[in-house]
Amino acid sequence: MGEAFLDANDATPTLGEKVSAGWSGAAWMALDHCAPADAAFICASYLAAIETGGPPLSELFGVTVADARFWADIAPVQELVAYGGAALAKLAEANLGIKTRKQLFAALWDGFSTQVRTAVRNWSTEAAA
């Protein structure tokens, strides 16, 4: 997956579309009146949209990613499947922004062979019709 996919505009306001500081109070009021899960999703989506390329989800010094990569490197395949499946199930419920979800999707997609990618594209085209 290319950068165009990850950087595609998903209705995220550009800097040119920012509104005046007076709207910050309205945004706070709106979030305060949302269901907690909705407010969390809105905030996570916004934070993902303004990521600077630093550690994901404001991770301190990259420690979590480094630890995860270390354990993934030495884990037997059955553990990778068990933990990976459990993580994907929890991530499906998580309040993640669209850019973060795209990054996860791209990581999975890149692991598929060309044959499997073609089959998935064909299936999704048929499902959309």
Residue that the structure tokens 């990521």 belong to: 51
pTM above 0.75, yes or no: no
**Residue 58 is part of which domain span?**
54-94
For residue 126, tell me if it sits in a domain: no
What pLDDT does 44 receive?
84
For residue 4, tell me if it sits in a domain: no
For residue 122, tell me if it sits in a domain: no
What pLDDT does 46 receive?
82
Q: How many domains does the chain have?
A: 1
What pLDDT does 16 receive?
46
pLDDT (tens digit per residue) in 41-72: 888 888 777 766 655 555 555 677 778 888 88
For residue 31, tell me if it sits in a domain: no
For residue 38, tell me if it sits in a domain: no
For residue 45, tell me if it sits in a domain: no
CB 96 within 8 A of CB 48: yes
For residue 30, tell me if it sits in a domain: no
